Chain A
Amino acid sequence: MKKTDILDVVSRKLAPFILLFGFYLLTYGHLSPGGGFQGGVTIASAVILLFLAKGTERVLEVFPLKSVHYTEAYGFFAFLLTGIAGLVFGEGFLSSFLKVKGAGAIPGGGTILLLNIIILLFTFAFYFHELFSLPESDTFPFCVAFHVDLSEVLKE
């Protein structure tokens, strides 16, 4: 498989910033536009960029498929447990069991940050699965989906 240097360099420089922006969207999700879903999608897009540049093996070293499986499965249970903890320590199912101090600070939002983290984890795991369930090929994983043989595109 031929690979261009532009894709390699740009993805290596750009991916950390996209990841950082994803975590920014997560932590300030209850104070500014953003949140768990948006942050998860942003982080997944950085991983897609790394897929394109580095191939599947390098990315699978960083994100082993088994741990992503567990993230997807236990993220849902973590959400349920947060709800039950609200039932036990708070006022009702999914109500905040942490102290709500009002808007303005990151920890002031009660369980909203916790729920956002859980949502980010399994949104990321969702897109990771969607990507990796595509049929295997020696080119990039997307090319099968879009019916493009990228190795021939790069040869020209």
Chain B
Amino acid sequence: MKMLFHILIIAVFSLLLIFALIFADHRAPDTAKQFLLEKSHIETGAANLVTAIYLGYRAFDTLGETIVLISSVTGVVFLMGSRE
């Protein structure tokens, strides 16, 4: 009985969230999208928008990604042992 009550509460609140998403008439924010479409190939010199973002605007993020790669290699070599 208590279980049923919990399920009912979860159903009501998830339906509220879903209906809020379905019937909302907010448009998705597109300021950043418009800015990138107009300016990115001039500012970074990359026609590919993905490259313009990850090596032009957010290259610092990519630097962190390299640290992730290096630390994972260190962990793998430490655990499995090198061939030498």
Q: Is the CB of B69 within 8 A of A94?
A: no
Q: Which residue of B lies closest to A135 (CB)?
A: B80
Cα–Cα, bound, A77→B42 (Å) = 28
Q: Is the CB of B60 within 8 A of A30?
A: no
B42 to chain A, nearest CB (A): 6
Q: How many residues on A have C-beta within 8 angstroms of the other chain's C-beta atoms? A: 42
Q: Is the CB of B70 within 8 A of A76?
A: yes
From B41, B50, B66, contact of A35 by CB (8 A): B50
Cα–Cα, bound, A132→B72 (Å) = 14
- On chain A, the residues within 8 Å of B43 by CB distance are 100
Chain B contact-residue range equals 20 to 34
Segment among A6-14, A45-53, A104-112 that sits at the interface with chain B: A104-112
Is the CB of A126 closer than 8 A to any CB of chain B?
yes
Segment among B4-12, B29-37, B51-59 that sits at the interface with chain A: B51-59
Q: Restricting to B35-51, which residues have a CB under 8 Å from any CB of A?
A: 41-48, 50-51
A122 to chain B, nearest CB (A): 6
Is the CB of B77 closer than 8 A to any CB of chain A?
yes
- On chain B, the residues within 8 Å of A104 by CB distance are 47
- On chain B, the residues within 8 Å of A102 by CB distance are 41-42, 45
Is the CB of A43 closer than 8 A to any CB of chain B?
no
A48 to chain B, nearest CB (A): 16
Q: Restricting to A49-64, which residues have a CB under 8 Å from any CB of B?
A: none
Residues of chain B touching chain A, judged by Cβ–Cβ distance below 8 Å, are 41-48, 50-52, 54-56, 59-60, 62-63, 66-67, 69-70, 72-73, 76-77, 79-84
Residues of chain A touching chain B, judged by Cβ–Cβ distance below 8 Å, are 29-35, 65, 72-73, 75-76, 79-80, 83, 93-94, 96, 100-104, 108-112, 115-116, 119, 122-123, 125-126, 129-130, 132-136
